[in-house]
Structure 1
Amino acid sequence: MGDNNGYRLSHAQKRCSEDAGGRHDDGRRRAPPSRMRACAECKKHKIRCEPVVGKSKCAKCIRSGVECVPYNLNQRFLEEDASWKANATVKLSQLRSAVQLLLRHSNLPDLEHASSPVLSSRNWSPSASVVSDQNMVVAPLMDMSRGSTAELEDSGLATVPMDSLYDLMRIRTLSSDNRHGSSLASPKEDFIAQGRVSLKEAEELFGRFMKDIRLYLWAGILFPYKSLEAVRGNSSLLTAAMLTIAALHTPGGDEALQKCYNIFVSLAYNTCLSRPQNLDDIRAQALAAFYLSNLSWKLSGLAVRSAVELNVHQSFQKLMRGHDDQRDNVRLWYALYVCEHQCSIAYGRPATIHEDAAIKNIEQFLDSPHIKPEDVRLCAQVSLFRILTEAYNTFGSDPDHALTEADLHQLHFFNVAIEQWRPAWESRSADSRGIGSYPSKGVVLYYHFARVHLNSLALRALPLPNPGALEALSYDRREAAKIAISAATSTLVLIFEEPDLRSAMPAVPVFTHTMVAFCATFLLKIVKTWGHLAPGHQSPMMVNSDSNNIPLDLNVPQILALARRSADFLAKVAENVNEKHLTSHIVQGINDLLDGLDVIDTPGSANTFEIDGLSEIDTLHSHTSGSAASEVAFGTNDLEHFGFGFDENFLKQVSYTNLDFWETPSY
């Protein structure tokens, strides 16, 4: 009996020793105990349940062909419950991020503030919100998955450093050899199918876009689809961009614009740090950059980087080697060049795309039987922005840097290049169905844009004028200033006189409206800054253009008439677009500048100025130089922002008036 007790004690001590150390006495690691319990079938027959390696069933259930159900279901329930909770946690974080995004879009308090009794929605402001870790977007897991190492044997000599690293590590996200991925969009799962935008509303907006907007942006180079179903099946982002732009050009469509804009911004956020899926997503970014003024700079840069990641910049060389399927990719690269350089010129910032082989060899691209009229229009703008970009690189955009006499001499060569550009492309831009003579007249319009843009640089950073300032200007500087004044005047007159340009104004990109606003602003600032320096000061704003002592040859009555007519014309344009469109705010800005002159009627100074066969009676006004209103409207140094960057203060003044939902959310 004592021996049995001793045996039991020894056996228990040995078992405790194995459990504590996980090893047998001889040092070998013991196998972990099986967590498999007898299944219901084996339990029923009271036999041993024998698991089979690699199978989910035991031997008995495999022989019997029945389902192998564990007898104790609690363990299975616990595992499923843990999995469900993990997924629910991720979903809850995503929903919280989405709600936070919507609250910020609507200028409502954060979730914490909304549930707190201390801070109500009445006294809440965006500046009172507190950014915490809970407000951050749930990011996907960092992708460090590896590809097959067998590809290393077939790869050639790596010419790109990241390719060498990829060959060594095989991490997919390091590969620079991106293919044009297939679309992941599905009409059965997109935001229209979800009911966020009704199908009827989407079809109406699609029809407006196709009829009124698509043709003016090179006949669909950025939107190559003819049906709503087709674009939905290729890119939800392009669909959202198209609907947003169409809603922006729909009078009274505030609700539709709000919905489409929110959807587009949400999708665009998702693409910022993700790898590009297809070319249509890049088209969407560029298309929105042309028309959404508050997002244009960000989206243009994002579109360029996405295109480079898909090697679109190499499409021209492939086309020249006989790959005709690359022609559309070259068109896209040209469109991105124009888009980014329009933003570069407008904001006075350096561009990303340089003059590569595609930009330098436009004529080789056009020397093909497959060329379309829209290709000519596109290449015309590429050619023009090459000139303007070279000027930017030469003169810079520093508003405090005045051009030297050597710079003015260099400016002459850029003027010659623009003078040669106009006849070279105007004759090649034939009329087109649906837009009439807009192609050739658009060349003339951009010709005037370029001239006023370049030559206004001659007045950049000049000191405030005094009665002797006009005579102090050198001949080259005066000539450049007169070219800028003439070009700005010609721009406005051309729009009034050409019916096809007038018809196009509601549908043209933001850059065209920006340039028209700049021309009107430039002329009014010239009048305000230089107009009171007439010899003898017969009238503070009267400038006798017949006098040889007046080097700028200002025609104040014409300038005032053009400014007022511009505001009236753009006001009519604004009636055909949404109130959030830039045009209505440009009108308000021009009228504010006119009011800022602090004018009073001057008897006997009526002047008749005819535009497009219509007579307009304009009463000339005298200028009160010490007016506080004038200083507010024009600033202290009115020549500061001429040239690159346009008049950015003016654009900021008119671009975001009452545009609450244009403010994109920040994280």
Structure 2
Amino acid sequence: MSLSKDAILSLRKRALQAPSLIEDRWKNTVIGDLDHIHSALQEVLGRLSLPPLPPLQTSSADNLATSPHDDVPDREEPGPSCDNSPRVSPRDDALPHVPIESLYQITRLRALRSDDTADEHQPPPTRASNHAINDFISNGLISLEDAERLVTLYLNRIDHFMYMIGGSKYRDLDTLRRSSPVLTACICTVAALHDPMSNHLYGVCSREFRRLMAASMFDRRIDKDHMRAMCIGSYWLHDISWTLSGYAIRRATEVNLSSNFHRVIADNNEEAMDCLRIWYILYICDHHLSILYGRPSIVREDASISGWEELLKTPVFTESDKRLVSQMALLIIMSNVRELFGPDTGEPIPRAFGQQLTNFSRQIDSWMGYWTTELLKLHQFIGEFPTKGVILHHHLAKLHLHSHVFRGLKGSPVPPYFQESAVAAVSAATSIIEMLLTDHDVREGLVGIPHYIHSMIAFACVFLLKVAAQHSGQFIEDVMVFDMTTKVVQQFRSTAVGKYHLVHLMADGLEKMATTKITSPTALQHAPLPNGVGHAGMHYVNDPNTSMSHMTHGNSMYTGGLMGNGFDEDLNLSTTPFLHFDSGNYDFNFSGLGFNI
């Protein structure tokens, strides 16, 4: 029998491949054996309390390098997995109401089935106390002493600002490491960002956190500590908060995290309340980012959000939870403000919105009056910051609300029917800066508050600079704006945080903007030298009593909103310019208020 030319070539090709395939199998076998030996030795060393071995430089998980010219034998990749014993749902015999359930019933594809919510409430598996830990600390990327210092800083100083949800159940590094590597890396990253002595550690911790997050992208299920890590990152890490927040909300809705609200109301279940706190933090982060970026929020005000008052009556509701729901209550108001005004189209707002401005302003005042009283009980935990935080958020909300009257003006005079709101916006912005410069607790809070508040403080500064530039002498004297800006820059530079923290990144950009926007010779002639932080010495050209008689200056009550406008001055909206960084400088060159200068 004669063989064809193609058959002869095929046989020759297989003969040449045979030694290579045998060699590859041998290498994989040896590497697998080494993995088993290495793991066994690590366990023995852990039981003897001896230092662990360094990680293997090769493992069975590594891909063997192959030449692009080598012929790789065809392999049939495994298809999507199916449930051999499908879970029986009480709804299986009912008419389907969710389309994906129908597809799951006829295909049994496991990826289409959401895990039961109850499964997510189970505590994550923890390593035995004598089991060796293999993470970026044991691998020597950062020392054990540095890691302990960072975790202690976070637990004792920073976690309070996120309502003690991030790491309150862990009181030491060892327990944290054994429970969740990704939460450990995230906490170390946030702590290094706030610690001026840990600049060299921030990059290492941040890379490890991002690596673990990327590796878990397609994990079928994640535990609550993984969700906590994403909440912490969204709350403090300004450069990845938008991405983390959106991904975390998707994972939270996958397990129906908001349904824990009904479990808390019905059963006073502490585990359900813990899950609900995570859901509330995600709501807060989502709406903070919506305000900062001028984009629609993802989480809507369903029963779990709007029904927060029912939680006040439950035994599992704590004093710290009051701070949490107080912020939610304010953001519900601000969400309604965004729904009314919508995105910035470059057009002035209609005169008919004047009544809504008044109504929203009264709601914000009522919010402040209620919560300043309710949060007095928390002084024993973190001093007077909770009540002063309410005052600060009150000012932020008033600024966000009333600044809408400057939309679309492009330097034109504010219409007479919006003069009151214009004065209120300037009053709120100056009160924010006065609190920052004169109140010890607020200045101390610069180390720990979420990046949302830092961004809103920046907005207040830029707002006043642009008002002074476009409406010089009408609402506030130029020299006072330059004076405040100079002192704020000095305050930012004197704040003891890491060099990658927002307050340091903002200082140079704000100083540069002040010198370019305030061009009045009188303002520059009388501008003070940076010789200390003191009272801003506000002087209003317009009498504030003619417009907002309920507002006080200096340490007046806090508003809680921000700008919900887009930024488009010399920048593309899609690049999120307000939180865009270039060469370490904070980019203040935006115009979400119609200030095109």
**Which whole-Å CA distance do the structure 2 matches of 1:323 and 1:617 have between them?**
51
Instruction: Give the residue type in structure 1 aligned to 2:581.
Output: Y
CA contact (8 A) 1:315 1:330 kept: yes
Counterpart selection for 2:423 from 482, 486, 502: 482
Report Cα offsets for 1:520-571 as digits up to 9, x if no partner: 110011001110xxxxxxxxxxx3xxxxxxxx53233332222111111111
Give the CA RMSD over aligned residues: 3.6
**Kindly tell me: are residues 612 and 407 of structure 1, through their superposed partners in 2, closer, same or farther at Cα, counting changes over 3 Å?**
farther
Query: Cα distance 1:607–1:578, how it changes in 2: closer, same or farther (>3 A)?
Result: closer
Inter-CA distance 612–357: structure 2 relative to 1 (3 Å threshold): farther
1:285 counterpart residue number = 230
Distance 1:254 1:494, change over 3 A: closer
The answer to whether the Cα contact below 8 Å between 1:163 and 1:176 also exists between their aligned partners in 2 is: no
Secondary structure in structure 2 of the residue aligned to 1:579: coil
Q: 1:498 aligns with which of 402, 421, 439?
A: 439
Q: Where do 1:77-96 residues align within 5 Å?
A: 80-81=25-26, 84=29, 91-93=61-63
Structure 2 counterpart of 1:372, from 310, 314, 318: 318
Q: Deviation at 1:303?
A: 1.1
C-alpha deviations, 1:403-423, integer Å up to 9, x for none? Answer: 111223322221121111110
User: Does residue 528 of the first structure (1) align with residue 469 of the second (2)?
Assistant: yes
1:566-604 alpha-carbon deviations (Å, 9 max, x no partner):
11111111xx11111111121111101112136475499
Distance 1:239 1:608 in 2: 45
| Matched-pair contact (CA < 8 Å) for 1:441–1:501 | yes
Where do 1:568-587 residues align within 5 Å? 568-573=490-495, 576-587=496-507
Matched, 1:457 2:371: no
Does the CA-based 8 Å contact 2:434-2:535 persist in structure 1? Answer: no
State the AA in 1 paired with 2:583: N
Residue in 1 that maps onto 2:564 = 644
Q: Does 1:161 align with 2:89?
A: no
**In 2, Cα distance between the equivalents of 1:421 and 1:380?**
8
After superposition, the Cα gap between the structure-2 partners of 1:188 and 1:648, relative to the gap in structure 1 and judged at 3 Å, is: farther
Query: For the structure 1 residues 89 and 317, does the alpha-carbon distance in structure 2 shift closer, same or farther, using more than 3 Å as the test?
Result: same
Structure 1: unaligned runs, 5 residues or longer: 1-12, 14-73, 97-110, 113-139, 532-542, 544-551, 619-641, 661-667
Mark the CA change 1:504 to 1:149 in structure 2 (over 3 Å): closer, same or farther.
closer
**Residue 211 in 1 paired to residue 156 in 2?**
yes
When the two structures are superposed, what TM-score results if normalisation uses the length of structure 1? 0.68
Could you list the per-position Cα deviations for residues 74-128 of structure 1 after superposition, in whole angstroms to 9, with x for gaps in the alignment? 9x978953965999998444999xxxxxxxxxxxxxx99xxxxxxxxxxxxxxxx
**Paired letter, 2:405:** A
Provide the C-alpha distance between the structure 2 equivalents of 1:426 and 1:616, rounded to a whole number of angstroms.
24
Superposition map of 1:189-204 within 5 A: 189-204=134-149
Aligned to 1:30: none
**CA 1:648–1:338: 2 relative to 1, 3 Å:** farther
How far did 1:648 drift?
A: 7.3
Counterparts of 1:617 and 1:331 in 2: how far apart (Å)?
41
Which one of 505, 511, 518 corresponds to residue 591 of structure 1? 511
Picking from 130, 146, 149, the partner of 2:83 is 146
Distance in 2 between residues matched to 1:79 and 1:614, nearest whole Å: 72
Instruction: Say whether residues 1:397 and 2:343 are aligned partners.
Output: yes
- Residues in 2 aligned to 1:601 and 1:345: alpha-carbon distance in whole angstroms: 35
**CA–CA distance in 1 between the matches of 2:205 and 2:513?**
34
1-structure distance, mates of 2:444, 2:218: 39
Give the letter for the 1:302 counterpart. Answer: Y
Q: From 199, 202, 212, give the equivalent of 1:257.
A: 202
TM-fit CA distance, 1:182: 5.2
Residues 457 and 90 of structure 1, relative CA distance in 2, 3 Å threshold: farther
Distance across 2 between alignment mates of 1:191 and 1:220: 24
| Cα 1:159–1:228 shift into 2, 3 Å | farther
Give 1:658's aligned amino acid.
S
Q: 1:185 to 1:528 in 2, by over 3 A?
A: farther
1:395 touches 1:403 (CA, 8 Å); kept in 2?
Answer: yes
Distance 1:530 1:569 in 2: 27
Instruction: Select 2:355's aligned residue among 392, 396, 409.
Output: 409
Mark the CA change 1:89 to 1:558 in structure 2 (over 3 Å): closer, same or farther: closer
CA displacement at 1:222 relative to structure 2? 5.9
1:266 equivalent in alignment to 2:211 = yes
Q: What residue is the counterpart of 1:382 in the other structure?
A: 328
Aligned counterpart, 2:480: 558
CA spacing shift, 1:150–1:513, aligned 2, 3 Å = closer
Say whether the 8 Å CA contact 2:487–2:533 is kept in structure 1: no
Asked which structure has the greater CA Rg, the reply is 1
CA distance in 2, matches of 1:340, 1:365: 21
Could you tell me how far apart the structure 1 residues matched to 2:523 and 2:231 are? 53
The alignment status of 1:341 with 2:341, answered yes or no, reads no
In structure 2, C-alpha distance between the alignment counterparts of 1:248 and 1:598, rounded to whole Å: 32
Mark the CA change 1:241 to 1:399 in structure 2 (over 3 Å): closer, same or farther.
Answer: farther
Native 8 Å contact 1:223 1:283 kept in 2: no
**Contact 1:452–1:487 at 8 Å: present in 2 too?**
yes
Distance 2:460 2:113 in 1: 47
Q: Where does residue 422 of structure 1 map in the other structure?
A: 368
Q: Find the aligned partners of 1:603 and 1:441 in 2 and give their Cα distance.
A: 31
Match of 1:516 in 2: 457
Cα contact 2:468–2:518 (8 A) shared by 1? no
Give the Cα–Cα distance (whole angstroms) in 2 for the partners of residues 478 and 583 of structure 1: 32
Residue 459 (structure 1) shift: 0.5
3-state DSSP of counterpart to 2:145: helix
Q: Is the CA contact 2:176–2:184 (under 8 Å) kept in the aligned structure 1?
A: yes
* Cα deviation 1:641-663 (Å, max 9, x = unaligned): x9414657698477524359xxx
Q: Give the whole-Å Cα distance in 2 for the aligned partners of 1:560 and 1:79.
A: 70
Q: Which residue of 2 is the match for residue 172 of structure 1? A: 110
The 8 Å contact of residues 222 and 332 in structure 1, kept in 2 or not, is answered as: no
Asked if the contact 2:489/2:507 (under 8 Å) is kept, the reply is yes
Deviation at 1:391, TM superposition (A): 1.1
Work out the CA distance in 2 between the residues paired with 1:311 and 1:95. Answer: 43
Kept after mapping to 2: 8 A contact 1:279/1:307:
no
Q: Is the 8 A contact 1:585 1:654 kept in 2?
A: no
Describe the superposition over 1:394-451 as per-residue Cα deviations: whole angstroms up to 9, x where unpaired. 1112242321112233222211211111101111012333420000000010000011
Q: What's the counterpart of residue 62 of structure 1?
A: none
**Distance between the aligned counterparts of 1:603 and 1:321, measured in 2?**
62
1:248 matched to 2:193? The reply is yes
3-state SS of paired residue (1:478): helix
Alignment deviations for residues 19-58 of structure 1 (CA, whole Å, 9 cap, x no partner): xxxxxxxxxxxxxxxxxxxxxxxxxxxxxxxxxxxxxxxx
Partner of residue 318 from structure 1, selected from 263, 269, 274: 263
Task: For 1:429 and 1:239, locate their aligned partners in 2 and report how far apart those are by CA, in whole Å.
Answer: 30
2: distance between equivalents of 1:331 and 1:345? 21
Higher RCO (C-alpha 8 Å, min separation 6): 2
Given candidates 233, 236, 252, the residue that maps to 1:307 is 252
Q: For residue 183 of structure 1, what is the aligned residue in structure 2?
A: 124
CA distance in 1, matches of 2:87, 2:510: 66
Extract unaligned runs of 5+ from structure 2. 2-18, 33-57, 69-76, 539-561, 586-597
Whether the 8 Å contact between 1:222 and 1:284 is mirrored in structure 2 is: no
- Code of the aligned partner of 1:345: I
- In 2: Cα distance, 1:169 partner to 1:275 partner: 18
* CA distance, structure 1, for counterparts of residue 523 and residue 221 of structure 2: 65
Report the CA distance between 1:477 and its aligned residue.
Answer: 1.8
Aligned residues: 496
